[in-house]
Structures are given as structure tokens and as C-alpha cells.
Structure 1
Amino acid sequence: MIHYTCDRCKRTIDPETEPRFVVEIDVRMASAAEPRSDHSEDLDQLAELHDQLQRELNAELGVSLQDDLDEIDDVVCGRDIDDGPDQYDLCEHCFEAFTSNPLGRETTVGYGFSNN
């Protein structure tokens, strides 16, 4: 039997009697540098080199190095290698609290009184 626990309040969630919400968080670094204009040309050359190496390796060794080539290609092209975003299970109460304040910041109301 699969067991679910709310990652916020640590309460057990029974998916047969109550809703279970999954929150996926994907965080990545934003690049501050402007993309180069010749970047697309570099990718085309890398893709061509990758295809040529793949054909040669498949002819000699079979497809045993395919995963390694795909990982190298991901690193060179700047793609993430991880399996995806982090996932968190939430009960209904914690989901409502999360959607009302996703960053968990304290909300203070500031009144702008004049200095009269």
C-alpha cells in the first residue's frame, strides 16, 4: 500500500477519502549574460559532431555509449540533467495555505500616513 504524508504538517493523507495535492518546484539560475549571436551556429556544429560520433560509435561498439553521449550533449547545450522538479505532497488545508502565500512571507499592511 502506498503511504502519503503531507510534507508541510506531517499528517498522513488517505487518498481514498481526501484530496492530495502535489506541488512541483523548479528552480534554476537565470543567466545574466546576453546570449551570443553566433550561439545557434555553435549548437548546429555540436549537433553535427554529435551525430557523426554517434554513427561511428554505433557502427563499432553498438549503442552502449548512447547514454554517455546524451549526457555530454545535455551538459554542452546547457540543459539540466536532473529528473525534473522537486515534488511535495500537501493535504487540503496546507494546499490552501500554500496557494494563499506560496513564498511564506509575512504579510503586513502598511498604512501611509502623512506627516501633518
Structure 2
Amino acid sequence: MVVDFRRAQSHHSPLFIDGCPVEIVKSTKFLGVHLVENFTWSLNTSSISKKAQQRLYFLRRLKKAHLPPPILTMFYRGTIESVLSSCITAWFGNCTVSDCKTLQRIVKTAEKIIGVTWEETRVPIGNP
């Protein structure tokens, strides 16, 4: 992937490594984060939301098995919240409003499944 911040678009000559040209791609996945040439994060957000939606299925199954809310919360934090917050400092600041709503919808769905709101389960940090 070629990253060029110049305003005027220009053609980039091919890069050769060991005599073979390096392929120029529009997007790539690096350390679990989808990087797109124009640095939009919609592809990354859709990938994250898809993973989280798949894990919500298992949260629903655990709820049907009548597990208590603390166990469901622990499962959520270990399997879903960890996916939602992976490399969040890199991509969340430039997310669109619709991407943020998509992620928030997953969190709200998990709250409904577990039957708690996160304010009830969080430990206060710092002075009250």
C-alpha cells in the first residue's frame, strides 16, 4: 500500500524487492486492523462488528442456559468487548457517526441480553 499525502495525485513507479515488483493494494490487514489507502475506518469497523455479532450468538446461548449476570458480563468482556476495543486508540478517533452507532448498537444489545447496564457493573475510577 502506498501512502501519499500530496494533494496532487501522481503515478508511483513500481517498487522492486529482489527483482520482483511489489503489488500495490487498496487495503490490507495488519495486526488485525484493516488499513485502507485513504485512511477511512469503515472496513475495519464492519469487520469488528461482524466478529462481535458472531460472539453475541454465544452470549445469547449462555443466557438461555440461565447463567447469572456476572458470568455473562465476564464472557462479554473477554470475548466481545476485547474485539470492540482492539487497537481502538488508532481508529476510533476518525470513525464516522454511522460506524460509532453500529458499535454502540452491539454494546446495547449485549446490555439487553445480560440484563444490566454497564454503569451498574463498573468500578468508579479516581475520586468521586
TM-score between both structures, scaled by the size of structure 2: 0.31
Structure having the higher helix fraction is: 2
Which one has more relative contact order, counting CA pairs under 8 Å at least 6 apart?
Answer: 1
Larger radius of gyration: 1
